[in-house]
Structure 1
Amino acid sequence: MEITSVIKVNKIKAIGNNQGRNSEVFLAHDPQLGGNVALKEIPISKFNNPSEYFVEAQTLYANKHPRVVPIMYACQDTGFIRLTMPYFDNGSVQNVINKNPLMVKQVIILGQQFLDGLHFVHLSGYIHFDIKPTNILIGNDGSAMLADFGQTRPTDVLGTASIPPLYPVHIAPEILGSSRATKLTDIYQCGLTLYRLCNGEQVFRGQLNNYISPLGIFTPEYVKAILTGKFPNRSYFLPHVPNKLKSVIKKALAVDPAKRHQSVVELMNDLGQVATLLDWQYTMDNNGIKWVKNNIEHMYQIMILYNKSNKLWYVEGNVIRNSDGLSRNRKAWTSLSGFRTCKQAEAFVRNIFNKMEG
């Protein structure tokens, strides 16, 4: 017996960062449930035929896992397909890296959590095709969950899937000029996501903007940069990012899929072996650049500061005792003279972290 019921929600505000290709996401209040939900709307005009209406909802339902954002219900009216999922106040990892890069420890923890969800997706016979910071939500307990299965496709007996329309910033090299892909495309997108988490959005967008024309479209050089491995810049990481983490990310970003991690588990295992420089927080403001590490007794900080009077950049390192605020200069972390460019000062700081890493 078929039953048709009415579901009411009240939209509060848009929350999707306008990154959905064919959809919008809203914070909404569901009076039936008595709480807020995330409401995703897809215009029916975006589908080729009715059989596609609820594919995303069915895929989410088929991939129920603690590290995958669950679907609550799906419905339709004359103009839209609507999906509802839990709303998390913490938003996505994108919200965090828009302000500052994650500490290495956070990259490892959140990375392994969303990778755990992706591993289950792969075991279930799907390729996600849309791994990026906006699709990694931070639950109420602070853990990461994989979201947005709008581009997810099932694999065939050979482990390949048809390529859907993709987010152009996260296109893997093998996608260009091809009609099918494997789970190794997800591995590449994971590598690019980890790159963004540890370097922050300012570094990533600074590189990306080099390939965007004044009209706001990608230049021909962008495709070439992806195919040759020049984007993102694998040779640049913030000074505190340990060499082991750099190697993990570079492997995931290999242009040749055969040289990448061959499974999510392999990537998770490599990520779990990163054990140095875990607790340094990078921040940048109008006063300069700062790295801070805290423990019970002391706060350690390394700063790059600009002297307006002589137009030189200086590096200064200090150890501050938490009990009374007593500050002591760390000579090994302090430059004896100024640098003409911030890049030169950053190289000095990179050498400090290299020595810490051993």
Structure 2
Amino acid sequence: MILTTVEIEKIKDFDEQGFFSSTYLAMDTRLEREVAVKDINVNGKVKDEEIEQFFHEALKLSRSEHPRILPIYFVGFCDTEDNENVIPRVVTKYMKNGTLSSVLKSHYNTGYTFPLDTIIRYAHDIIQSLIHLHSLDILHLDLKASNIFIGNDGKLVVGDFGQSRFLVDGLTVDAENLYPALIPDEFTKKGVVDKTADIYQFGILFYSMCCYDYYRNFLEDDYEIDVEVLKGLFGNPEEKDKDAIKKFGANLKRYKQDVKEGLYADGSNYYNYIPGKIIAIIERCVAHKVENRYNNFYEVQSDLNELVFPSGVSSYSEEIGQNSIVFKKDDVDCIINYEKNEDSKKYRLVPRKNIQEVTRKIKEKVTDRTLRKEILKLADSL
């Protein structure tokens, strides 16, 4: 067997790192172009059968070419100081616009949620990539914002296929090292997953686009199961804190139980600019029982298409902590304040267009159940 290498010069590490890999920007010195490099973390010597499996999966992934899937330039091994150990390496196109995770984080730092119209457009991009992958019987199995890239055309490109697997008779049994927050319950119990595992992960990814700060708070503070915690607990196999690992296990169990009981279906865990239709889609995607989820991404797409976004409305988002929805209607700045009357427990919607209050459009006595729908209808009518 010939272990192929590629001549690259490392430029810098990327800000976002996976637990099972190291990623960085590099220069391909032969072709004189910048590339993204991912070195897979392995412990000890890689067996010949593992090498064959690595190339076998890479071959199939190379055949998954699609505008919404990150192009793979090279798959091989990087040089090590001894000849006994080899490190699998994947070289891909460098996406200079960064990841969806970095864009979401940057946007929420402005004090506003991510625009709903952009969320819907991005969701369709991801769905298109997954429809294509599933047509080739490929599962992605690592759908999170840090693995989604912003293309030069402004559309999303799905990358990082380190956890991808290929279906045999509709199932895969060799999925392992999955990101804990994305593991569906059926894999924990039965050790197998099918295409609905990607649908489950898409639901959580969809939620993270709608409520990124809530989602990060869940993983980083409430349940403490994010990548940085994983690295601290399992990054050095020679130094293991058994008490910390036990606590992590308890947190993960609590998280999974809360997801099962409706963590991502509870309307109180969403901003009010998110329509009930999207909440219902996410709820079905992350359903605990496989039979209660969507069967395929065509069904997800069909339900998402039923959400009619108001004509002429753009940049539709919520000002965090201010009970106000901001957007543009035909390029005019608009805002809708929603105020709750504590006595009646109903809302009063006060719209403004170009700073001026639109008195004739004020809505009174809006209930919790209809608030999201009434806000969107009012935006459409301005």
Normalising by structure 2, we get a TM-score of 0.76
Deviation at 1:158, TM superposition (A): 4.0
* Contact 1:135/1:148 (<8 A) preserved: yes
The equivalent of 2:39 in structure 1 is 41
* Contact 1:242/1:276 (<8 A) preserved: no
Once residues 207 and 194 of structure 1 are traced to their aligned partners in structure 2, the CA distance between those partners, rounded to angstroms, is 15
Matches within 5 A, 1:140-219: 140-199=152-211, 201-208=212-219, 209-212=221-224, 217=248, 219=251
The equivalent of 1:9 in structure 2 is 8
The equivalent of 2:30 in structure 1 is 32
The equivalent of 1:231 in structure 2 is 263
* CA shift in 2, pair 1:5/1:230, >3 Å: closer
Q: Is 1:353 equivalent to 2:375 in the alignment?
A: yes
2:147 to 135, 151, 158: 135
Unpaired runs of at least 5, structure 2: 81-85, 230-243, 340-347
Q: Deviations over 1:100-148 (max 9, x none)?
A: 3432222222211122111121111222111111111111111111111
The equivalent of 2:286 in structure 1 is 253
Deviation at 1:221, TM superposition (A): 1.9
Range that drifts further, 50-59 or 292-301: 50-59
Matches within 5 A, 1:314-333: 317-320=351-354, 327-331=355-359
**What is the RMSD of the two structures over their aligned residues, measured on CA atoms?**
3.4
* CA shift in 2, pair 1:353/1:46, >3 Å: farther
Once residues 29 and 202 of structure 1 are traced to their aligned partners in structure 2, the CA distance between those partners, rounded to angstroms, is 34
* Contact 1:240/1:280 (<8 A) preserved: no
1:110 to 122, 129, 139: 122
Code of the residue aligned with 2:278 in structure 1: it is: L
Unpaired runs of at least 5, structure 1: 306-313, 321-326, 337-345
Once residues 262 and 300 of structure 1 are traced to their aligned partners in structure 2, the CA distance between those partners, rounded to angstroms, is 39
Deviation at 1:6, TM superposition (A): 6.0
* Contact 1:239/1:349 (<8 A) preserved: yes
Once residues 3 and 255 of structure 2 are traced to their aligned partners in structure 1, the CA distance between those partners, rounded to angstroms, is 49
The equivalent of 1:50 in structure 2 is 48
* CA shift in 2, pair 1:81/1:3, >3 Å: closer
The equivalent of 2:314 in structure 1 is 279
Deviation at 1:295, TM superposition (A): 3.4
Deviation at 1:331, TM superposition (A): 4.3
Aligned length: 332
SS at match of 1:157: coil
Once residues 255 and 237 of structure 1 are traced to their aligned partners in structure 2, the CA distance between those partners, rounded to angstroms, is 20
Deviation at 1:187, TM superposition (A): 0.6
Q: Deviations over 1:136-194 (max 9, x none)?
A: 11111111111111111111124344322211121222222221111111111111111
* Contact 1:154/1:161 (<8 A) preserved: no
* Contact 1:127/1:161 (<8 A) preserved: no
Once residues 46 and 267 of structure 1 are traced to their aligned partners in structure 2, the CA distance between those partners, rounded to angstroms, is 42
Report which of the two has the higher share of helix: 2
Percentage identity across paired residues of the two chains: 24
* Contact 1:282/1:289 (<8 A) preserved: no
Code of the residue aligned with 1:91 in structure 2: it is: G
The equivalent of 1:265 in structure 2 is 298
Deviation at 1:41, TM superposition (A): 0.9
* CA shift in 2, pair 1:129/1:203, >3 Å: same
Once residues 372 and 301 of structure 2 are traced to their aligned partners in structure 1, the CA distance between those partners, rounded to angstroms, is 26
Structure 1: 4+ residue segments shifted above 4 A? 2-6, 213-216, 287-290, 314-317, 331-336, 346-352
* CA shift in 2, pair 1:39/1:268, >3 Å: same
Normalising by structure 1, we get a TM-score of 0.80
